[in-house]
């Protein structure tokens, strides 16, 4: 059960990004994590932009830019597809 007061929803642009990620070959699921208000991916990053942070056992840890801050994502992948998925999402807005 999530901690009280923590969001696990996201903006319209981020939901579109998540749908695009889910359509990639090798992606099993995208799990939405906590959101952090007031944070940013940096200058020039639009709402819905994504950054892969690192590879973990079973998938990729990522964050996406929302209207109000950052949203954590865990991209569950098939074994051996992490690098291809990471490269595929690198150029997205």
pLDDT, position 92: 75
| CA distance from start to end of the chain | 32
pLDDT, position 42: 64
pLDDT, position 2: 44
Closest CA to 76 of 62, 60, 54: 60
Pick the more confident residue, 65 or 21: 21
pLDDT, position 27: 94
Domain boundaries, the chain: 12-90
pLDDT digit string (tens) for 53-85?
999 989 999 998 888 888 889 999 999 999 999
Q: What's the full length of the chain, in residues?
A: 93
Is residue 6 within 8 Å of 34, Cβ to Cβ?
Answer: yes
């Amino acid at each position: 059960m999530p901690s009280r007061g923590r969001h696990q929803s996201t903006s319209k642009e981020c939901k579109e990004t998540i749908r695009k990620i889910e359509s990639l070959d090798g992606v099993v699921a995208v799990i939405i994590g906590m959101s952090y208000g007031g944070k940013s991916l940096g200058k020039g990053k639009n709402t819905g932009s994504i950054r892969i942070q690192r590879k973990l056992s079973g998938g990729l840890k990522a964050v996406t830019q929302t209207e109000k801050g950052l949203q954590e994502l865990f991209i569950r992948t098939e074994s051996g597809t992490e690098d291809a998925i990471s490269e595929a999402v690198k150029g997205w807005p």
